[in-house]
Every structure is written in C-alpha cells, then in structure tokens.
Amino acid sequence: MSKRILLAAPRGYCAGVDRAVITVEKALELYGAPVYVRKQIVHNKHVVATLEARGAIFVDQTDEVPEGKIVVFSAHGVSPAVHAEAAGRNLKTIDATCPLVTKVHHEAKRFAAEDLEILFIGHEGHEEVEGTMGEAVGKVKLVDGLDSARTIEPTPGKKLAWLSQTTLSVDEALQSVAILKERFPDIQDPPSDDICYATTNRQDAIKVIAPQADLVIVVGSTNSSNSVRLVEVAKEYGTPQAYLIDYAAEAKEEWLTGVETIGVTSGASVPEILVDDLLEWLAKRGFADVETVTAAQESLLFALPPELRKDIKAAAQ
C-alpha cells in the first residue's frame, strides 16, 4: 500500500495572527511581565500557554486588569465600549486587532452612519462578532447560519447592508449572501470581500486535497472558527473522515486503518511546530512520503500596532 501525505499550503499563521503574537512578545520584552491580554490573543491553546509561561496574563474582561497596567486587545477586535472601559481604568492599551477585522469595523460604522441596518453574517458569541456589532449598537442583526438567513426579519422600512465575520466558511457565507439578496434585492454589498484572504486560501487548499484523501487531520483549537471550518470543508469536499486536534498526541491509531492518503493542514493561528510534530507522528506509522499541495502564495505582512512601534523606537534611542 502506497502511504502518502498531502500537505496543504498555505497553512498555519496568517499575517494578522503573526502580528498579534509578536505584539505580546515585544510588549513582554519592552515593559516586562506581567502584560495583560484581554481574551486569548489568538485562538490556539499552544500559543496561549507559551505566552503565559513568558508572563502574559489572559483575562476575560477589562475590569480584571489592575488600574494603570498594560492590556493588549486580541486579534479578534473589541467594541468601542471596551476601549472606553479601558480608558476609564487608566490602562495603557495596545490594540492587536487584525487590520482585516478593523476594515469590517470601519464598514459597520460607515453603514450605520448612513442609517442602514446591517445584517451581519457570523457566529453568535465569537469575539470578532461581538466587537463588530459593538461598533453599531442597535443597528446590526446577526445572521447565524443559512436558516437564520432564510428567517431573519429586518426592521420594516430600513435600508439594508450586509457584512460578514472574516473567518467563516467561504461557501456558507456566499450561500447566506445569496439567500439575503434573493429576499432583499436592494441589500448593499460591502466595498470589498470581508472573508479574510488567509481563510479563503486555507479552505481552497483543503478543497483540492479532500477528494483525494481517505483522512484529513486539521491542527487547530476547537474555539478557532477558521480551524473548525477547515474540518467542515474537508468533509463537504469528499474526505470520508476529518478530525481537529491541538497536538499530535491527540491523533488516534485507529484513524489510520485502511488509509492510504492523509491530508494535513492547520488553522490560521497554529504555529508550524505543531504540524511538524504531527508529520513526525505519521512518519513513524509509515506515512513518510509528503507532497505539498499549494493553493496560493502569501506574502502579506502587517506592521505592529502604532502605540507599540512608538515605544520600541523610544527605547532604542
């Protein structure tokens, strides 16, 4: 039996995650421990544990940060109310919100200023959804899934626009948009696609791999929306079994029974070392032949938050 691995490219860290993780690392170097972080900086167990070991303290709410201390806002973004709360507690804030999420925040503010009601496609409870909806309080209705798109009732007489969470399944988001446009033909589009380039690229790679694979393993955490979507996309596109794991140690021998081809990828907040560990685990079980399947080339980089850049520059003088 010819055992092989189809390794997705791109996979792992996107530019927004890279920027957010480096932001916490640089803050620890510059200001010393502890540095507080509101919510998980990115949705990955390993990253959070590694930063905790270096002196980062993760909190759920801003009021858990002692007055006057430093707090980093996560890559998923926060609402204006959270910024106001931080200012009220005299906190030094470093905003590590992904610039692609910030773009959606700006779009929400613009639509709200034009007195449009926003139908926001996303998952209830996700931090990115809470942050974006907080930019236009009372002017956003959440569309969570296709059933919601079919049944949501906007405010009568209101002009409509739609926006979406950046880490959704591309296919599902487009289906939701199609349903909304059929029901509300005059609904306004955002000026550009909201689904993040990295989410799209990682899903495109797994769409190529899934029909060829007997098994797909996605490295990522269960609270990572884009990682969960990769498992769903793999199943949609034809792999008989697909699993999400944080660490290679969570992979199970029985998954490999009768399997010749394994697809491997990772979510946008997963460091490459975790993928390497999985490849090593699979190699020991006869899957040493690794073929890379490339869906796109990524070269995007984001500058560090301006408040951090200013302090790094001052420290260097």
The residues annotated with a catalytic role in the active site are: 128
Closest-CA residue to 144 (of 165, 170, 118, 127): 165
Taking residue 316's Cβ as centre, other Cβ atoms within 10 Å add up to: 6
Which residues, other chains included, contact 264 with Cβ-Cβ below 8 Å and sequence gap of 6+?
5, 6, 7, 8, 11, 216, 217, 219, 275, 278, 279, 282
C-beta separation of 155 from 117 below 8 A? yes
Taking residue 265's Cβ as centre, other Cβ atoms within 10 Å add up to: 31
Q: Residue type for 190, please?
A: P
Closest-CA residue to 44 (of 256, 227, 211): 227
Phi, psi of 8 (to 5 degrees): -75, 140
Q: Residue type for 34, please?
A: P
Look-up of token digits 């993760």: 58
DSSP for 124-180 reads TT-HHHHHHHGGGTTSEEEE-SHHHHHH--PPTT--EEEEE-TTS-HHHHHHHHHHH
- What is the Cα–Cα distance from 147 to 90, expressed in whole angstroms? 43
- E-state strands within the chain: 4-9, 35-38, 56-59, 70-73, 92-95, 117-121, 140-143, 160-164, 215-219, 242-245, 261-266, 289-294
